[in-house]
């Protein structure tokens, strides 16, 4: 009797877990949220096919051994592997997160849904991308590609050869304190925070390269000047 009861409880528990976690996946009607920006959701389509603008999905959240329906969203952009949805309804005090899932309502479609136009798609893509990028590192990388520093090496050579250690020191101060202009084309579409991070990275990398190259040039120039002076003294 106890054994039969144990088997019965195990079966019931398995069915309950299946109902809460496996039913949607078997129907291939589930998408995983990958990012959220304001009232726009980006989701990975996974194995789900046939998505069109206007399709309606419910937003589900796992809560212990059940799922909570958080709200509804409708498709406004469909791409090969991802799609974007606009939040239509959301329960009070709930904030969506990337662990939530989207479940398609089989008969649900909003015929009034307006697809994103080209400009909206580009803006959405840029804003989504901005949430995933370290702009300080991006700025450094861009500066490294833009700036080779050959001119600074030449300045160091002249300063070191002409005035030796004094020229080296004066030139280094000038190079270290000179301003850096970040090309506007790199930051025109960035928000204020991302622009600051990019500018900081671009400036730090450029200044570091300038100082390094100047020191190389100044060292060579100073060494050349010393060799020349020693050589002239030996010929006297």
CB 181 within 8 A of CB 154: no
pLDDT tens-digit map of 173-231: 888 888 888 988 888 877 888 888 889 999 998 988 888 888 998 899 888 888 888 88
- Fold annotation for 2-115: Thrombin, subunit H (2.40.10)
Mean pLDDT along residues 5-27: 44
Cβ neighbours of 202 (radius 10 Å): 27
pLDDT surpassing 80 at residue 72: yes
Query: Could you give the percent of the chain with pLDDT greater than 70?
Result: 74
- Which residues, at least 6 apart from 111, have a Cβ–Cβ distance to it below 8 Å? 54
- The whole-number pLDDT of residue 9 equals 46
Mean pLDDT along residues 10-21: 43
pLDDT surpassing 70 at residue 37: yes
The rounded distance, in Å, linking the Cα atoms of 17 and 140 is 49
- The whole-number pLDDT of residue 106 equals 61
- 108 pLDDT band, cuts 50/70/90, is low
Tell me the range of 60-69, 93-102, 192-201 where mean pLDDT is highest. 192-201
Report domain extents, the chain.
2-115, 133-234
Mean pLDDT along residues 18-22: 42
Q: Taken in order 220, 226, 230, 233, is the CA torsion positive or negative?
A: positive
pLDDT surpassing 70 at residue 132: no
Q: Which of 10-14, 67-71, 109-113, 153-157 has the lowest mean pLDDT?
A: 10-14
- 26 pLDDT band, cuts 50/70/90, is very low
Helix axes 192-234, 135-146, angle to 10 degrees: 40
- The whole-number pLDDT of residue 105 equals 80
Query: Could you give the percent of the chain with pLDDT greater than 90?
Result: 2
């Amino acid at each position: 009797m106890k054994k039969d009861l144990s088997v019965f409880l195990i079966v019931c528990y398995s069915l309950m877990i299946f109902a809460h976690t496996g039913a949607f996946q078997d129907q291939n009607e589930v998408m995983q949220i990958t990012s959220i920006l304001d009232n726009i959701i980006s989701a990975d389509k996974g194995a789900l096919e046939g998505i069109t603008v206007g399709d309606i999905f419910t937003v589900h959240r796992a809560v212990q051994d059940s799922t909570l329906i958080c709200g509804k969203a409708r498709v406004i952009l469909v791409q090969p592997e991802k799609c974007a949805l606009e939040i239509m309804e959301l329960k009070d005090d709930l904030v969506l997160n990337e662990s939530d899932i989207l479940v398609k309502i089989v008969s649900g479609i909003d015929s009034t849904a307006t697809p994103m136009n080209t400009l909206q798609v580009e803006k959405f893509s840029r804003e989504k991308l901005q949430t995933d990028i370290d702009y300080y590192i991006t700025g450094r990388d861009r500066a490294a590609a833009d700036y080779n520093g050959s001119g600074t090496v030449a300045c160091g050579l002249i300063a070191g050869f002409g005035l030796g250690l004094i020229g080296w020191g004066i030139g280094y101060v000038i190079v270290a304190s000179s301003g850096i202009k970040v090309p506007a084309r790199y930051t025109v579409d960035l928000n204020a925070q991302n622009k600051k991070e990019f500018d900081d990275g671009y400036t730090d990398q450029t200044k570091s390269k300038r100082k390094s190259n100047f020191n190389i040039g100044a060292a060579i120039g100073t060494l050349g000047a010393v060799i020349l002076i020693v050589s002239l003294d030996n010929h006297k």
